[in-house]
């Protein structure tokens, strides 16, 4: 609800509590609808590796719907915008779960339903959360903002840990696509319930007024910002590394190592636990070393993933422990990229009036661009790796895990390029040209105060001993 005035202390407290309740229920919902569950669901539907690669890229392709969130905010405000798109997001999740029923008639049609549902799921999520940070700033003072963000994040993490433990127990007891579809439906129901909390928040009209500014003009202005363009390029390469390595790693555990759903969810739990630690450590690291160095270190962390897959055993008593360690490594650097990118964005776009359009422009370039390129590149590399792995005379590329190892090695240049892009020193601004200042002469007036007279410049046209200079001095 937009009040058109500053919120009172009681109204701010109520809005903050409502957002904490929203984040708590949303944490329960998201762990039932996260990337790991969708990848396992696609594997249960028998989707090819190329389709799973497309599914992992939908997280970033969905950012194409981001401008819809700005337009909705300009009409109804940030809170109602997030509530509306959260309902649409969970309706799309129900569409994704319906792929289990479509599979009975046509497996290929179920893969198409899965991809379409995932696109709208991630797209509505991006459109709904486009202005959630300004919304938290609107319902809190500058002194309260940090504690409010920390409290809401804590509620989300607490409920997410409980949800992922429940999902792991359910997948250990019941197997198959029906069980995963039921988990997705439960997560969608919880997500719809969470939208009621955020819809009851009260806000001023500041966010709505900022969203009413011409979006295209703001995007054009943001694209002229060299620092933001460079960050978008770095973010593009980092997102491309995530698309190639993170969802395919879950698929490699499932099809290359023969993990069941419950063991794969244990690895996903390790990824989330690392994300919690990385979220707390990223702030001090960015203050100590700078956000770009944190991004460069995270790119190096992703560059080590192919070598970790070369050493990871395909089976045996240590396979699960190695999988947990690998996903802990991936989750830590994934969430470090997420947090450090936000800090780098605030440095590249410090003016709050330009942050809405700058965020849309950066996401369209880095997220949507990486999603389109990553889906095509990942599908092509997986197809080629499946063909070439059998022809290579190396034991490491034999067996079900061999094509995935070859795929990760083929994708190694992407995080290396991201490391070089983030490590390249900033271009220093060219100093302004020095203009010689003419020396001024000071003469005393009758009153005794100094008087500055303009200097006399010598030119080649008038020699030093010319009659003109004599007459002028007289």
Residue 237: per-residue pLDDT: 92
The predicted-structure confidence for 359-394, as pLDDT tens digits, reads as follows: 788 888 888 888 888 888 888 988 888 888 877 777
Radius of gyration of the chain from its Cα atoms, rounded to whole angstroms: 29
Please tell me whether residues 195 and 246 are part of one structural domain.
no
Number of structural domains, the chain?
A: 2
Cα 90 to chain center, whole Å? 20
Distance CA 138, CA 135 (A): 5
Cβ neighbours of 95 (radius 10 Å)? 18
Residues 6 or more apart whose Cβ sits within 8 Å of residue 294: 282, 285, 286, 336, 340
User: What 3-state DSSP class applies to 458?
Assistant: coil
Residue 437: per-residue pLDDT: 57
Residues 6 or more apart whose Cβ sits within 8 Å of residue 70: 130, 131, 211, 215, 356, 360
Residue 94: per-residue pLDDT: 92
Please tell me whether residues 182 and 224 are part of one structural domain.
no
Please tell me whether residues 150 and 255 are part of one structural domain.
no
Cβ neighbours of 177 (radius 10 Å)? 20
User: What 3-state DSSP class applies to 452?
Assistant: strand
Of 189, 212, 235, the residue that ends a domain is 212
Residue 144: per-residue pLDDT: 63
The answer to whether residue 315 is domain-embedded is yes
Here the CATH number for the domain that contains residue 24 is: 1.20.1250.20
Total-model pTM: 0.77
Which residues of the chain are under the pLDDT cut of 70? 1-5, 7, 133-134, 136-138, 142-150, 154, 351-353, 355, 425-474
The answer to whether residue 434 is domain-embedded is no
Lookup result for tokens 């109804």: 76
The answer to whether residue 85 is domain-embedded is yes
Please tell me whether residues 3 and 95 are part of one structural domain.
yes
Residue 301: per-residue pLDDT: 92
**Residue 380's domain spans which residues?**
214-426
Residue 131: per-residue pLDDT: 72
Distance CA 407, CA 427 (A): 35
């Amino acid at each position: 609800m937009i009040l058109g005035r500053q919120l009172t202390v009681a109204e701010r407290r109520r809005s903050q509590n409502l957002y904490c309740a929203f984040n708590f229920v949303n944490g329960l919902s998201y762990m039932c609808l996260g990337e790991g569950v969708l990848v396992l669901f696609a594997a249960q539907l028998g989707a090819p590796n190329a389709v799973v690669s497309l599914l992992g890229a939908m997280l970033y392709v969905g950012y194409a719907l981001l401008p819809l969130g700005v337009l909705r905010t300009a009409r109804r405000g940030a809170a109602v915008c997030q509530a509306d798109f959260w309902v649409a997001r969970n309706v799309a999740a129900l569409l994704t779960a319906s792929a289990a029923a479509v599979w009975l008639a046509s497996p290929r049609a179920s893969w198409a339903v899965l991809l379409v549902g995932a696109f709208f799921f991630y797209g509505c999520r991006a459109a709904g959360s486009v202005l959630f940070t300004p919304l938290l700033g609107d319902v809190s003072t500058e002194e309260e903002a940090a504690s409010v963000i920390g409290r809401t994040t804590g509620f989300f993490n607490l409920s997410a840990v409980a949800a992922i433990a429940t999902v792991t127990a359910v997948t250990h007891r019941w197997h198959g696509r029906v069980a995963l579809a039921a988990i997705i439906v439960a997560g969608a129901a919880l997500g719809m319930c969470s939208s009621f909390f955020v819809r009851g928040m009260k806000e001023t009209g500041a966010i709505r007024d900022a969203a009413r500014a011409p979006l295209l003009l703001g995007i054009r202005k943001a694209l002229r910002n060299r620092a933001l363009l460079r960050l978008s390029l770095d973010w593009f390469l980092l997102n491309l590394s995530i698309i190639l390595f993170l969802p395919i790693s879950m698929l490699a555990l499932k099809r290359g190592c023969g993990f069941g759903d419950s063991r794969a969810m244990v690895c996903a739990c390790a990824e989330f636990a690392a994300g919690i630690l990385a979220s707390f450590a990223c702030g001090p690291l960015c203050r100590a070393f700078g956000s770009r160095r944190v991004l460069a270190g995270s790119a190096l962390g992703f560059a080590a993933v192919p070598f970790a897959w070369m050493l990871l055993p395909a089976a045996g008593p240590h396979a699960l422990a190695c999988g947990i360690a690998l996903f802990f490594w991936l989750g830590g650097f994934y969430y470090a990229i997420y947090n450090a990118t936000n800090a780098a964005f605030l440095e590249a776009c410090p003016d709050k009036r330009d942050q809405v359009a700058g965020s849309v422009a950066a996401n369209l370039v880095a997220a949507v661009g990486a999603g389109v390129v990553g889906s095509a590149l990942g599908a092509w590399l997986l197809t080629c790796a499946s063909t070439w792995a059998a022809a290579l005379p190396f034991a490491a590329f034999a067996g079900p895990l061999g094509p995935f190892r070859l795929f990760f090695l083929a994708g190694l240049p992407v995080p290396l390029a991201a490391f070089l892009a983030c490590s390249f020193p900033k271009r220093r601004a060219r100093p302004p040209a020095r203009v010689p200042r003419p020396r001024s002469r000071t003469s005393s007036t009758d009153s005794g105060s100094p008087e500055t007279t303009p200097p006399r410049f010598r030119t080649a046209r008038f020699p030093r001993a010319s009659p003109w200079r004599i007459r002028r001095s007289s």
